[in-house]
Amino acid sequence: MTAGSPALPPRHGLEERLRSLTLARGITVWSLLRVIAALAATLIIFAILLQLLGSDFGTAFNAVIDSAFGNSFNIGQTLMTASLLIATGLAAAIPFRAQLWNVGGEGQMWFGAFCTIGIALNLPKGLAPGLSVAILVIASMVAGAVWGLVPGILKATINANEVITSLMMTFIAIELGNWAIDGIWPQGASNETMSVPANTLMPNIWSGTLVTWGLPLALIAAIVAWAVMSRTKLGFEIRAVGLNPQTARMNGMSVGKVAIVTFALGGAFAGLAGSIFILGINGALPAGFPLNNFGLQSPRCTPANAPRHRATLFSATTRSASSTTGRRPITAC
């Protein structure tokens, strides 16, 4: 402050003090308190509703916690479900940074699973397990990206509504999956496809649970998504288009290219979820797969205010924990 300049008034008030306490970049104590208050309000409303229905809140809450984290096996179930929600959450988060809605993560995941099954059943039997898994994971991501390209290209060329086109692609992918179950690779004994060979399955990384390499792959995907969005020119263009497409266009950025690339990236992450489910969880594509709605839950794992990838990790994990109760258990490969 220079001599003679007016003194700045002291900052008073709890809100100003909380705003000044920064825990991490973009996170303040005040924002954390708002989240905690929202969670507390949710629990209070939930408790009131249970009381009105004649149920005990404590019993219900303990059942949720026990089914999600009660033992190592349940924790493994929660983590593997979270791995699918992380991957499909990224499929929604990346296009959303460009203000585009990818609600077709379910279809992109289905098509990734469809291609994973088809390629796995036709790979050479003597192929090394690690190489087999790598080939199938890459193939599923490419398949998901191809499926995501369709709404992206339609948005870029004729400005088609991406919500409608990505959702329509989901129904086509589900029908392809049902065709695989009933017609192309039926198992016969149960209503699912043939099981993939043992050398194509992801290895278990936590004994006594069903946790496989699918979980680290989902975490790596989140790191890659963060690096692309925060440390590359492409990520800057995606964020710029999301903030103001007109200004981005005036600065030489292609809004159409961003639409195509974001949907392809999102589709690749959803395709990864399909390979994790087949190779790291179930070993086959079951008819009840759509009942879990992992892809349709993905927008809920993306914070609407600013879809950060660390927030997607947290949201996917908490949603996995809350949805474990009453859900059909994940089966072993």
Report d(CA 174, CA 310) in Å as an integer. Answer: 30
Domain boundaries of the chain, sorted by first residue? 13-55, 71-324
Are 169 and 154 spatial neighbours (Cβ–Cβ below 8 Å)? no
Is CATH 1.10.3470 what the domain over 71-324 is classified as, yes or no?
A: yes
pLDDT value of residue 18: 44
Q: Enumerate residues 6+ apart whose C-beta is below 8 A from 326.
A: none
Report d(CA 111, CA 149) in Å as an integer. Answer: 13
Report d(CA 78, CA 67) in Å as an integer. Answer: 9
Q: Which amino acid is at 174?
A: I
Q: What are the strands, taking DSSP E only, across 208-329?
A: none
pLDDT value of residue 295: 62
Report d(CA 49, CA 188) in Å as an integer. Answer: 45
| Predicted confidence (pLDDT) per residue in 223-273, tens digit | 999 999 999 999 999 999 999 999 999 999 999 999 999 999 999 999 999
* Phi-psi category of residue 285: left, alpha or beta, with phi > 0 → left and psi -120 to 50 → alpha: beta
With helix as H, strand as E and coil as C, how does 10-65 read? CCCCHHHHHHHCEEECCEEHHHHHHHHHHHHHHHHHHHHHHHHCCCCHHHHHHHHH
**Sign of the CA dihedral with 53 first, then 69, 76, and 268 last:** positive
pLDDT value of residue 41: 92
Token pair 């990206």 is found at 145
Are 74 and 218 spatial neighbours (Cβ–Cβ below 8 Å)? no
Burial of 134 (0-12, 13-18, 19+ CB in 10 A): exposed
Of 122, 130, 94, 134, the closest CA to residue 242 belongs to 94
pLDDT value of residue 245: 95
| Predicted confidence (pLDDT) per residue in 65-87, tens digit | 887 888 888 899 899 988 998 99
Q: pLDDT tens digits for the chain (333 residues)? A: 455 545 544 444 555 554 444 454 555 677 778 878 988 998 899 889 988 988 888 888 888 788 788 888 889 989 998 899 899 989 999 999 999 999 999 999 999 999 999 999 999 988 999 999 999 999 999 999 999 999 999 999 999 999 999 999 999 999 999 999 999 999 988 889 999 999 999 999 999 899 999 999 999 999 999 999 999 999 999 999 999 999 999 999 999 999 999 999 999 999 999 999 999 999 999 987 655 677 666 555 555 444 455 556 666 666 666 666 555 445 555
